[in-house]
Amino acid sequence: MTAIPARRLLGWLWRDHIRRRWPLLTLALLLMAVEGAATGALSYLVRPMFDEVHQGAAFSVVARVAASVGGVFVLRAIAGFAHKVIIARQSERVGAELQAAMLAHALRLDLGFYLAHSPGSLMERLRGDTAALRNLWPPILQAFGRDVVALLSLAVVALLIDWRWTLIAVAGVPLLALPITRLQRMVRGTARSARDAAGALSTQLDEAFHGIRTLQLSGAEADEVSRYRRALEKYLTAQFRSDRAAAAIPALIDVVAALGFAGVMLYGGMQIIAGTKTLGEFMSFFTAMGLVFEPLRRLGSVSGLWAAARASLERMRGLLDEVPKITSPAKPVALPAGGVRLEMRDVSFGYGETPVLRGISLLAEPGKVTALVGPSGAGKTTIFHLLTRLADPDAGQVTLNGVDLRGLDLGQLRGLFAVVSQDSALFDEAIAANVRLGAKDQSDAALSRALGLAHADFVEAMPLGVNSPAGPRGTALSGGQRQRIAIARAILRNAPVLLLDEATSALDSQTELGVTEALDTLRSGRTTLVIAHRLSTIQAADVILVMNKGQIVARGSHAQLLAEGGLYADLYRLQFKE
């Protein structure tokens, strides 16, 4: 992944997610400044504690010093609590907004993007990378709002006591610049590797949980755990390297602090012995210096956090920078009136360097059924992708009533299609919501009619009826039940084009007969394309296109193709040889 300049990353966050929150963030920064200034005040109050409060001092002096110290602690506590609550809430809000924005953008990307990026890696970008960013905001804002002010106030106290002591204490700080810069680069690189490895882990978990039946029936649970452990070791190695580099930054600061303290103790100790400095001055200075290095260490840690978070920011921005290849034109052509006539003219298409379709020409007309048959991998489903503009052809043209699909509004075009496939997706919502997908304005009566035509009688027997949950990916339903819900969805959508990809493959013979009758009714007046492996389901099609290796090798009716012999006749004899 190409590195993205920090200025661009921060500008994007400020413009899209932070700028409108400036009143609350300003308040939080002011509260942080109060907390930071309180640190300087505490170090300053050490001096009167040693120089004014002594044996025989008036009680009023003791009370004044005690009240001052107590007041500073209370003020610091209130300011610290308030700004932590504000920042925590806003950082969660920003993280949620980023997730929603990335999901909205990702859902607009074309099929080729999803072939190149696994679901696990995308989930890690939405969840893992935004979590890394959420964990970054509190320490960064506190560093610049609280720790910087604390450093300034403590530096003022130290300089007021003795500027020479101050120079001795911080003399080694410039030496940190080069090693810290190199460590930041190391953290950034290793953090990016760790995020990529985390994406691979998410992908593997997704595969394992969705393939649980296969793993258990194969007795491969132990093998899968071993595979996961190997991937986990890669993640841990990258993460440990990142953590080690990040931990080295505050450690370097501690080494420099030790040298500074030793120098001041030697020089200051001699001045106290000589009587040129008081014990109160010495203790106040040392308190200030002791408190200085804590915010300095936090600032050093923040530099490591930023380097790690920047890797996540680059991954998130990289996703948002992906440009959808399938979009609506600037000035869409109006949808042609009347029935839908779909045509492909000498269309070729491939995924990357792999050709899938070569010189495909076909015509699907209103009121007619066009069937696609052929061995797996022949390119049948890819034709559906091109007709619905999930992909665009590399060569040739796909038209609707003579208009190139690329000239039509994408949303309106896809609104013309109702699709039923053998793996139609169901979501973890109520059955009613799954059936109404893309047809939310349909009435309850229309919903009941669609379920009835799809022979989804089982819904009535469920505890909550149509409000019963379908489960994640429809796992609360059997394969046949999921298929009938998908068919009900297509019926309810009532679109002018019907695409059926093995629509009844998961149904028993009796249910298939009833559903086929419902689909026959649904096909009336519509443009229908059918992908079928069971040739018995498409014998009545108006035209059958026989595909092999990305080409149409024969076309005609069932009787014509049988009479011609060839691949269709071979497939038919193979299925009905008994």
DSSP secondary structure string for all residues of 308-344: HHHHHHHHHHHHHHPPPSS---SSPBPPPSSS--EEE
Q: Give the chain's mean pLDDT.
A: 79
Residue matched to tokens 């394309």: 529
- Examine the pLDDT at 405 and tell me if it is beyond 80: yes
**Mean pLDDT of the region 415-429:** 83
> Are β-strands 369-373 and 543-548 bridged in parallel, bridged antiparallel, or unpaired?
parallel
- Examine the pLDDT at 565 and tell me if it is beyond 60: yes
pLDDT at 342: 92
Distance CA(82)–CA(510), nearest Å, equals 67
pLDDT at 360: 93
pLDDT at 65: 66
Distance CA(29)–CA(44), nearest Å, equals 23
Closest among 378, 374, 327, 371 to 568, alpha carbons compared: 374
Q: How confident is the model at residue 395 (pLDDT cuts 50, 70, 90)?
A: very high
Q: How confident is the model at residue 301 (pLDDT cuts 50, 70, 90)?
A: low
Q: What's the pLDDT tens digit per position in 123-175?
A: 878 887 887 777 776 777 777 667 777 777 767 777 777 777 677 666 666 66
Task: Say what percent of the chain tops pLDDT 90.
Answer: 11
Distance CA(372)–CA(530), nearest Å, equals 6
The ranges assigned to domains in the chain are: 6-321, 342-576
Q: Which CATH class is domain 342-576?
A: alpha beta
Instruction: State the pTM of this model.
Output: 0.72
> DSSP E strands: which ranges in 422-526?
497-501
- Examine the pLDDT at 55 and tell me if it is beyond 60: no
Phi then psi for residue 543, to 5 deg, are -145, 140
Pair of tokens at residue 124: 């890690």
Q: How confident is the model at residue 269 (pLDDT cuts 50, 70, 90)?
A: low
How far is it between the farthest Cα atoms of the chain?
Answer: 122
Weakest-pLDDT range from 108-122, 252-266, 379-393? 252-266
Please give the CATH number for the structural domain made up of 6-321.
Answer: 1.20.1560.10
- Examine the pLDDT at 246 and tell me if it is beyond 90: no
**Mean pLDDT of the region 564-578:** 79
Q: What's the pLDDT tens digit per position in 490-548?
A: 888 888 999 888 777 666 777 677 667 767 777 777 899 998 887 877 888 889 999 99
**Mean pLDDT of the region 27-32:** 83
Residue 471 burial (C-beta neighbours within 10 Å; 0-12, 13-18, 19+): middle
Q: Angle CA(150)–CA(153)–CA(155) in degrees, nearest 5?
A: 105
